[in-house]
Amino acid sequence: MEEIARGGQGALLRAQHHELGTEAALKLSLDADEDSWQRFQQEAKALARLSHPNLLAVHDYGRAPGGLYMAMPFVSGQDLSSRVREQGVPPVAWTVEVLEAVADTLHYCHQSGIVHRDLKPQNVLIEAESGRPYVVDFGLIKRDRSRLAWSQDQAPETAEGTLLGTPAYMAPEQAAARGEVDARADVYGLGALLFFLLTGEAPFRAAGLYPLLAEVAERPPPDPRELRPEVPAALAELCRVSLAKDPAARPPTARAFAERVRATRPRARWPYGVGAGLLVAAAALLIWSQGPDARARATPAPASAPASTTPLPSPTPSEAVSEAAIQANNRGVALFDAGRIEEAIRAFAEATRLAPAYADAHLNRGLARAKLRDVAGAIEDFDRAMRLRPDWDLPYANRGATLGVLGDHLSASADFERATQLAPDVPRHWLRLGGAKGNLGDHAGAMACFERALELEPDAPWAERYRRKVARIRQLQQR
């Protein structure tokens, strides 16, 4: 067994079943008194009856010398706190996807009579392979006000690996231990999670437990735009109402929160004519097939943008991409071309399992996920490809296209900007950057990008169309 995390009241272990050989996460609680055991049993049995794609099933639980244990599936990934700490604040579109899933999961739990009570970034796990969010730690380890103080020596958050709650994300009625805590406390937690993903900070950050509790109880919720001005107004307003001190002033249910998050998704509009490519029906950006000779090829790109001319280099010895991984990637490409997208995703996943540093396979799986509208999973794969090959333009271009379809043109523009820096001679990147700038109202910037693409490929099939666009922008500027 391998210890993953430890807190004041328990530990989390990575374990293996002796007979089956399967991996599991083993949660241990050091509270072994009768009251703790009764609560532990009750909650374990309740969770064992739940079945939801964003929850971890309870396989077993029991009492052992020194404490209580619970066995659940082991999921390799990062919690939201670790992800933001390592990668920074995520794109707004990714945040929307994740919060939708988390809110819908909590609504399912509430309908089954279970309230989480400890929603915070450390308790939402993003699976590395699928990008799927899991809501974890449903208060199965005993928490009360006196124990809470143990973990709050350092505010605003508990120490890494701690399995205790934190007032920085608790509803006021829960932190003050007044009255019955119901599902609306989780709605508050959703608002705090949203604030964190939009800003990288907890909504309340006073140093010390009691000043922090005072802020939670008395201070009006902050506006995330004070820390990140580009946050959409609708999401800032959702933060405000969800963090209301009065439970009755919050969205009434987690489902209502999810619906308001969904409503912030703008419909994709491309007045500058640059197709987003990823989530538009029958459109594909780039999908790479790598054989033993390491030659790259691309499927046809959308008619609105030129095909990429960026070659895919052969793996270097340090990447250690095996022949089996390359074959799995090529099989995924063939399945993708045949329209068998789910099978393609499994083939790309096999390639990444055989060669975790195989950036090409991560990129391809992201494209396939985007085809199925799994935006959170696609962005997670593009992020992984970026980390593996930070000097590669295609992950930035594809993530930008995904974000652009969702209307997050600011984040898309930043990604396309990076793609043009890494591959300045690729016309496609300039056209997409121009489209993003145009959707942000930067007409001069859009025109400059289109003109750069035309300089690079003046005789391309799309060239005349973009010359007309440039002419129209000039006419608009002269009015």
Enzyme catalytic residues: 118
Neighbours of 463 (CB within 10 A): 16
Q: Quick one: CA dihedral 192, 197, 198, 202, positive or negative?
A: positive
| Two structure tokens written together for 451 | 């003109």
Q: How many CB atoms lie within 10 A of CB 158?
A: 24
Distance CA 168, CA 164 (A): 12
Question: Phi and psi for 119 in degrees, rounded to 5?
Answer: -75, 125
Query: Could you give phi then psi for residue 358, rounded to 5 degrees?
Result: -80, 90
Kind of pairing between the strands at 60-64 and 67-73: antiparallel
Token pair of 46 as six digits: 């309740």
Candidates 230, 233, 236; CA nearest to 414 is: 230
Give bridge partners of residue 24 from the DSSP assignment: 15, 73
Q: What is the DSSP letter of 49?
A: T
Provide the CA 170 distance to its chain's centre, in angstroms: 22
- Cis peptide upstream of residue 156 (ω within 30 degrees of 0): yes
For residue 80, the SS3 value is helix
Q: Give me the DSSP letters along 282-331.
A: T---------TT-----PPPPTTSPPP----PPPPGGG---HHHHHHHHH
Q: To which H or E segment does residue 5 belong?
A: strand 2-6
Sign of CA dihedral 328, 333, 363, 390: positive
β-pair partners for 16: 23
How far, CA to CA in Å, does 416 sit from each of 42, 383, 429?
Answer: 51, 14, 6
Q: Of 198, 379, 129, nearest to 279 (Cα)?
A: 379
Picking from 388, 439, 386, the residue whose alpha carbon sits closest to that of residue 412 is 439
